[in-house]
Structure 1
Amino acid sequence: MNVKALIRTVNHTLKLHNLFPENSRILVACSGGPDSMALLHLLQDIATHRHTEYELGVAIVDHCIRPESKDEVLWLRNQVEILGLPFYTAIFDVPKLSKEQKLSEETIGRHVRYQWLTGIAQSEGYDYIAVAHHKDDQAESILAHLIRGTGLNGLTGMAVVSNDYTVPVVRPLLDVTKEELLLYLKEKDISYCIDSTNEDVRYQRNRIRHCIIPELKAINPIVIDAIVRLGASVREDISLISNLTDMAFDELVTISDEGAFISRRGLRKKPLSIQRRLWQRLVSIFDPEIKLTTAHQEQLLDIVNTGEGKTFNIKSIKVSAQCDTIKVYCKH
C-alpha cells in the first residue's frame, strides 16, 4: 500500500464512523514510537486530503519504566515544536504504583494514561483523543481475550470509537497494518523512537506478538486479517443477541422499589445465551461493578431450572426464588 492508498484507507475508516469533521480539535496520544508518530502525521495528511484543518495537540506520558523515557519526552517535545503544535506531558511512577496496588504495570499504565489524557482533553477543549492501535494490535487484543477466556464480548476486539471516557477515544488506524505504517514512515522520512520493552516477552502482549503470532503466520500467512474478520463477525452477532436480550428483558422483567422480578418459566423458554445476558443486565441494575463469573452463571441456571425455593448471594446482590418468581434486589 502506497502513501496515498494508506491515507485513503484511514480516511475511509473515519468517514464510516462520521469522525473528525472540519476544525475538529484532536489530542493525539503519542509515545514517540512508530505507530503514534505515523498517526500524528497521517492526521495532518488527512486534513490536507479533506481540504480542511484540524487543531492537533500532542500528549505523552512518562511511565518511568525505562531510563531512556525522559530523553524520549524531550525528543518528542522538540519534534512537536518543529510542527508548531501544543505539547502536554506528565510523569507517573508506574512500577511504584504497580507494587502499591498489586496490579500489572500494563494495567496501571493504561489506567493513569487514559485518566490523564481525558483530563487534558477536557480542560483544553479537545473533541477527541486519538490513539494509534492498528490492525496487528487488534488481532493481538482478540487473541489475548481468547487466551483469558472472556467469552464473545472479548472476541470483538477494540472499537474504532470508544465512549468509555468523557471524551471519545478514536482508533483511526485499525484498518492498516504495522508493516504499512512502517513503510509510510520510511517513505516520508519520519523519525521515531524504539521502546526496548516492546521486545520483552515477560509482558503478555509481547509474548503474543513475538511468539504466538509468528507461529500462527507459519500456518496461515494472512492470520492477522482472519482474526480481525472474526472480531468484526462476532461484533455483528453480539449486536443481534443484544437486541434479542432487550426484547426478552422488556417481556420478562418487572422492576419496582422492592427489586426486579422475573418468571422462572418465562426465563426457561429463552436460549441460554439470552439467559446469561439477562442475568448480567439484572445484576448490573443494582451494582454495575459486578461481572458474573461462569460459576455465578451456573448457580443462577440451577435456580431457573429447579422449582424449589432458593436464595443466592453475589456480593451486595441477593437472588431469591419462590415458586415461579425470582426476585433480584440489593441487600441492605
Structure 2
Amino acid sequence: MENPAVHALAAWPAPLPLAVAYSGGADSTALLHAAAARWPGQVHALHVHHGLQQAADRFESHCAATCAALGVPLHAARVDARHATGESPEDAARRARYATLAALALAQGLRHVALAQHADDQVETMLIALGRGAGLDGLAGMPRRMERHGVSFHRPLLELRADALREWLAAAGVAHVEDPSNSDLRYTRNRIRRLLLPALQAALPQYRDTFARSARNAARASVLLAGLAEQDLAEAGSPPALAVLRALPQERLANALRHWLRRDHGAVPSEAQLLQLQSQIAACSTRGHRIHLKIAAGRVEREGGVLRWYNASPLS
C-alpha cells in the first residue's frame, strides 16, 4: 500500500527547499514521510512545542527520533499558547503556531512551509465558519496557499481523506503520536469531528467532495467581491470619503467597509458593528454629525469629510 500523500505531492509543483510543519501526529507524519522520500535532502521539519500539556515533551522527542531516521533536519521551538480571558483557546493556539512556524522557517532561510491539513479538516473549518455565521471568506474554508508572517504556507493534501492517511500508517507500521486533546469535546473542532462528521458520512457519503466544491465557489465569489470593493475604495480614496460611501448601495457599502477595515487595519467587524456603521454613514448628511464607533479592537471616527480608523483605546 502506497502512502496517499505521495500521489498528492506528485501533482504539486513544490517550491524547494521546503519545510514541513511536523507535530508528530498522523497527518503530518504521512506528509513528512512522503516529502522526505520525494525530495531527499531538500526537506526540513518544523516542530512547535505548545507547552499546553505534559505529553508535549514526549511529542518533541518522538519527532526528533523520526527525523533522525529519515535524515531530515528538525527545528523546534517552544511557545506559550495560553489564551487570554474571553479568547478562544483554539484561535490563540493557531495564531501562536503560525507565528512560530514562520519564525523557524525564516531562521533557516526557508520561505515555504507545507501543512498536513486534509479534506476532513476543510469540512470541519467550513462547519465552524457556518456555526459562527461567517460570510463568504469563512465559507471558502482554508486556501491551498496563504501568506503569513513573511512565509508562504501550502496545503497539498486538501483533497485527501483522513482515514486514507491513517490506513497507510497502520499498514506500513509507521509510528505517530496521538494528541490527548483531540478527544476533548470542550473544543468545537473535536465535537464536529466526533459527532457531526460520522452523521454526515451516513447521510451524505460524498460530503467531502461537495463541501470542497462549495468552498471553491465561495472563494471565487469572495475574489469578485474583493475586486468590487477595491474599485469602490479607489474612488472613495484613503481614508475613504463619506460622500462617496454614502452614494453606494447598502450592500456595496457594507462590502467596501468590510474590505477597508480588513485590508488596511486587520479589523473584522461583527455584523452588528457593520450595520451600525452603515447607519451612521447614511445619517451623516450634516457637517456636525459625529461618528465614533467601536469596531473590532479599535474604533472608527468621522474626521471632516472622511472616515478614520484608530487603534484600541478607551472611547470618550
TM range (shorter): 0.7 to 0.9
How far 1:54 moved relative to its partner?
5.0
Task: Say which of 16, 26, 30 aligns to 2:18.
Answer: 26
Deviation at 1:70, TM superposition (A): 1.6
Residue 197 to residue 284, structure 1, CA distance change in 2 (3 Å): closer
Which of 227, 230, 236 is the aligned partner of 1:253? 236
Encode CA deviations 1:219-260: one digit per residue, 9 max, x unaligned: 21222222221111100111122222222233x3134xxx43
Partner of 2:34: 42
Q: Deviations over 1:20-77 (max 9, x none)?
A: 2xxx122211111110000101113433xxxxx5521122222233333322221221
- The reply to whether residue 311 of structure 1 matches residue 290 of structure 2 is yes
Structure 2: where are the runs of 5+ without partners? 312-316
Aligned counterpart, 1:202: 186
Letter in 1 for 2:256: L
Task: Specify whether residues 238 and 283 from structure 1 end up closer, same or farther in structure 2 by C-alpha distance, changes over 3 A only.
Answer: closer
Matched to 1:277, the amino acid is N
- Alignment size in residue pairs: 305
**Contact residue 61 and residue 90 of structure 1 kept, 8 A:** yes
The structure 2 residue matched to 1:177, chosen from 161, 167, 172, is 161
Q: Distance in 1 between matches of 2:120 and 2:48?
A: 23
Q: Does structure 1 residue 110 correspond to structure 2 residue 89?
A: no
What secondary structure, in the 3-state scheme, does the structure 2 residue paired with 1:311 have? coil
Which residue of structure 2 lines up, in the alignment, with residue 278 of structure 1?
256
* Change in CA separation of 1:244 and 1:102 when aligned onto 2, cut-off 3 Å: closer
Q: Counterpart of 2:269 in structure 1: which amino acid? A: L
Identity of aligned residues (%): 24
Could you report, residue by residue, the CA deviation over 1:155-214 in whole angstroms, capped at 9, with x for unpaired residues? 111111110221111111111110121233234332211222211111111001111222
- In the alignment, is residue 267 of structure 1 matched against residue 250 of structure 2? no
* Contact 1:131–1:169, Cα closer than 8 Å, also in 2: yes
Q: 1:127 to 1:73 in 2, by over 3 A?
A: same
Unpaired segments of 5 or more residues in structure 1?
A: 48-52
Helix, strand or coil at the partner of 1:58: strand
Deviations 1:254-298 (A, max 9, x none): 34xxx4314358733x461x221211244457x604322212222
Structure 2 match to 1:50 = none
- Taking the aligned partners of 1:303 and 1:239, their CA distance within structure 2 comes to 27
Equivalent residues of 1:283, 1:328 under 8 A apart: no
Aligned partners of 1:75, 1:25: CA distance in 2, in Å?
Answer: 23
Determine the C-alpha separation between the residues in 2 that align with 1:66 and 1:44. 29
Q: Which residue of 2 aligns with 1:327?
A: 306
Partner of residue 67 from structure 1, selected from 47, 54, 65: 54
Tell me, in whole angstroms, the C-alpha distance in 1 between the residues paired with 2:32 and 2:115.
Answer: 9
Shift of 1:122: 1.0
Pick one of 65, 73, 77 that aligns with 1:90: 77
